[in-house]
Chain A
Amino acid sequence: MLAAVMLYPLGYALYLSLLNYDLGTGTRDFIGLGNYTALLSDARFWDTLNRTVFIVLAAVGLEFSLGLLIAYGLYRLTFGVRTLNLLLFIPNIITPVVAALFLRWIFMGRWGLLASTLIGLGIFPPDFLGNPTWARVVVVLADAWQFTPFMILVLYAGLNTVDLSQIEAAQIDGAGVWTLLFRIMLPSIRPLIVFVLAIRLMDAFRFFDQIYVLTSGGPGTATETITLYTYALAFRLLQVGKASALGVLTLLFVAALTALMIRVVYRRERGAF
């Protein structure tokens, strides 16, 4: 019964993906897998997929490394941790659209805080949102700004669950700060790490709000991710069938990616999940 709430729309989406359904002209024909073959041979689809994978990996990679460093720093810190934790967490809970606006006002060409500060210093800044390379960097930074706090929070909680006697034993053996982190602590919170990475990958892959507000996929298609492309297909070009097919492909891709990740990590220790 419960599953039906979700399965019905999914089934409907699958059905739609087999149609040549155009809301604009009202066409509605059954074309089987036509949408899929059209997409798979479409260069724009592959470009978008590559771009999405790049943005997602860069963002999640940055979030994880930064998040781990900060979390470990907080773990070693003996005072002020609660306050810092609370302040660090603020970006994560802000409505994504609003967060994107905040960042727009930082990175906007000429009048944004960053550009105008640079001009004040006598440096002529690039147009951060108008230049394809910079726009991608900004999109990655925006995702990192909002979701590094999530990593910090979860990893910090994880580090605190590590058995203290193990840590003390390692310290007696003369393990340094970094050996302790990489040899003792990380291996013991590995399930948590896989989990949090998987969650972030899934979420980053379908993320829409920030990019929509920051660049709408522009300039050109420099920051157009799969989700933005699907949105444009469905609600701008009104090609509902093709858009559904693209959505299904995205789902399959993300599912495969997650399954692969879990497999690779748990090849030796099955059943840990």
Chain B
Amino acid sequence: MRRARTQIPLFLLLAGFTAVTLIPVVWTFLTSLKQPVDAFAIPPRLIFTPTFEFHAEVWIEKQFWRYLINSVVIAVCTVVISVSIGTMAAYGLSRLRGTATRGLLFSLLAMRMFPHILLAIPFFLLAKSLGLVNTYPAMILALVAINQPFTIWLMRSFFVDVPTELYEAAALDGCNAWQVFSRVALPVVRPGLWVTALFSLLLAYNEFLLALVLTGPDTKTLPVAIAEYGGEDINYWSLSAAAAIGIMLPIVVFMMALQRHLVRGLAFGAIKG
């Protein structure tokens, strides 16, 4: 069996690589269950009495639930706004042809390479002059702005797949332009809508640089909170490890549930153009 002889080592090799890449995650999880005595043992201790007290402490006593609320409010508003704008714009762009459309599409793609720091400065000054620093709208608007090119491109790739005959048939049946969009196009691309929403949610939830600049004590999101917390004091190891694991969990669960759509979202436009 030549096949088995190459397949099994190959599998072991790949599984080994996977295991190595997951060490940091597993290690942090173990740390989050350790008392300081075990966390600072040299050499590292694998056998210890686990405790969940730090998970409870960080979310309740250290008030990480507040940051979770901030993160959720900001992420959900961002998704709702940017996906609705993105969907309508993408629909428009998918039905138009010509050089102007191409130009617009390419400039959207070009915006993807903007260094976010370059946008963070004007955003910050604008928010400051409008008195919006440390408010939800500032952060939400900034996220919508940086997320927009992505939602438009991704949604467009779904609209382009809709056959034109469908629109023509709808128009013949007496639908006006808005009805063609809302009654015909939208239902067809519904799966795409979910994928776009999910990726926007991920972006908003993970975003750090803009949050660092635009949020304050009342609107701090989870990444900013953990960065301030985790870096500081080594005594808080187990606590910040618990927080880190907690922040990671929802995303992993989301992604596991929607793994089929990952490729399309990540490599958007790569194959379809």
**Which residue of B13, B125, B144, B205 has the most chain A CB atoms within 10 A of its CB atom?**
B125
B22 touching A73 by the CB < 8 A rule?
Answer: no
Q: What string of 1s and 0s marks CB contacts (under 8 Å) between A1-37 and chain B? A: 0110110011011001000000000000000000000
A20 to B266 Cα, complex, angstroms = 40
A111 touching B40 by the CB < 8 A rule?
Answer: yes
B122 touching A13 by the CB < 8 A rule?
Answer: yes
B42 touching A208 by the CB < 8 A rule?
Answer: no
List of B residues within 8 angstroms of A227 by Cβ: 115, 117
A72-91 at interface with B (beta carbon < 8 Å): 73-74, 76-80, 84, 86-91
A119 touching B13 by the CB < 8 A rule?
Answer: no
List of B residues within 8 angstroms of A99 by Cβ: 24
Q: What string of 1s and 0s marks CB contacts (under 8 Å) between B5-43 and chain A? A: 011001101110110011111011001000000011111
Interface assignment of B256: CB less than 8 Å from any CB of chain A: yes
A5 touching B28 by the CB < 8 A rule?
Answer: no
Interface assignment of A186: CB less than 8 Å from any CB of chain B: no
B117 touching A6 by the CB < 8 A rule?
Answer: no
A6 touching B208 by the CB < 8 A rule?
Answer: no
Which listed residue (B115, B122, B247) contacts A12, Cβ 8 A?
Answer: B122
Name the residue on A nearest B206 (C-beta). A95
Interface assignment of B98: CB less than 8 Å from any CB of chain A: no
B148 touching A2 by the CB < 8 A rule?
Answer: yes
List of A residues within 8 angstroms of B267 by Cβ: 153-154, 157, 192, 195-196
**Which residue of A10, A150, A212, A247 has the most chain B CB atoms within 10 A of its CB atom?**
A247
Given contacts A86-B259, A192-B270, A227-B115, 14 further A-B contacts (CB under 8 A): A2-B152, A5-B145, A6-B145, A10-B119, A12-B125, A73-B13, A91-B24, A95-B248, A101-B230, A102-B24, A105-B237, A111-B42, A161-B271, A196-B267
Name the residue on A nearest B246 (C-beta). A98
Interface residue stretch chosen among B105-113, B155-163, B170-178, B183-191? B105-113
What is the interface of chain A, defined by CB distance below 8 A to chain B? 2-3, 5-6, 9-10, 12-13, 16, 70, 73-74, 76-80, 84, 86-91, 93-99, 101-106, 110-111, 113, 116-117, 119-121, 145, 148-150, 153-154, 157-158, 161, 191-192, 195-196, 199, 202, 205-206, 208-209, 212-213, 226-227, 230-231, 234-235, 240, 243-244, 247-248, 250-251, 254-255, 258, 273
A206 to B207 Cα, complex, angstroms = 13
A91 touching B252 by the CB < 8 A rule?
Answer: no
A273 to B106 Cα, complex, angstroms = 11
Name the residue on A nearest B267 (C-beta). A154
Name the residue on B nearest A235 (C-beta). B213
Interface assignment of B69: CB less than 8 Å from any CB of chain A: no
B167-217 at interface with A (beta carbon < 8 Å): 202, 205-206, 208-209, 213
A99 to B206 Cα, complex, angstroms = 11
A9 touching B123 by the CB < 8 A rule?
Answer: yes
A101 touching B244 by the CB < 8 A rule?
Answer: yes
List of A residues within 8 angstroms of B31 by Cβ: 105
List of B residues within 8 angstroms of A79 by Cβ: 7, 11
Name the residue on A nearest B259 (C-beta). A86
List of B residues within 8 angstroms of A148 by Cβ: 21
Which listed residue (A96, A101, A195, A226) contacts B28, Cβ 8 A?
Answer: A101
A120 touching B43 by the CB < 8 A rule?
Answer: yes
A209 touching B119 by the CB < 8 A rule?
Answer: no
Closest 10 CB pairs of A and B: A120-B43, A247-B118, A102-B24, A202-B113, A12-B122, A206-B115, A9-B122, A97-B223, A209-B208, A95-B206
A119 touching B42 by the CB < 8 A rule?
Answer: yes
A231 touching B117 by the CB < 8 A rule?
Answer: yes
Majority secondary structure, A binding face: helix
A209 touching B223 by the CB < 8 A rule?
Answer: yes
B242-273 at interface with A (beta carbon < 8 Å): 244, 247-248, 251-252, 255-256, 259, 262-263, 266-267, 270-271, 273
**Which residue of A80, A90, A250 has the most chain B CB atoms within 10 A of its CB atom?**
A90
Which listed residue (A105, A206, A235) contacts B24, Cβ 8 A?
Answer: A105
A206 to B10 Cα, complex, angstroms = 36
B122 touching A5 by the CB < 8 A rule?
Answer: no
Interface assignment of B234: CB less than 8 Å from any CB of chain A: yes
List of A residues within 8 angstroms of B202 by Cβ: 93
List of B residues within 8 angstroms of A96 by Cβ: 206, 208, 223
List of A residues within 8 angstroms of B273 by Cβ: 273
B223 touching A98 by the CB < 8 A rule?
Answer: yes
List of A residues within 8 angstroms of B15 by Cβ: 80, 84
Name the residue on A nearest B104 (C-beta). A3
List of A residues within 8 angstroms of B89 by Cβ: 2
Which listed residue (A86, A95, A191, A254) contacts B222, Cβ 8 A?
Answer: A95
Which listed residue (B3, B23, B112, B145) contacts A9, Cβ 8 A?
Answer: B145
Interface assignment of B121: CB less than 8 Å from any CB of chain A: yes
B85-139 at interface with A (beta carbon < 8 Å): 85, 89, 104, 107-108, 110-126
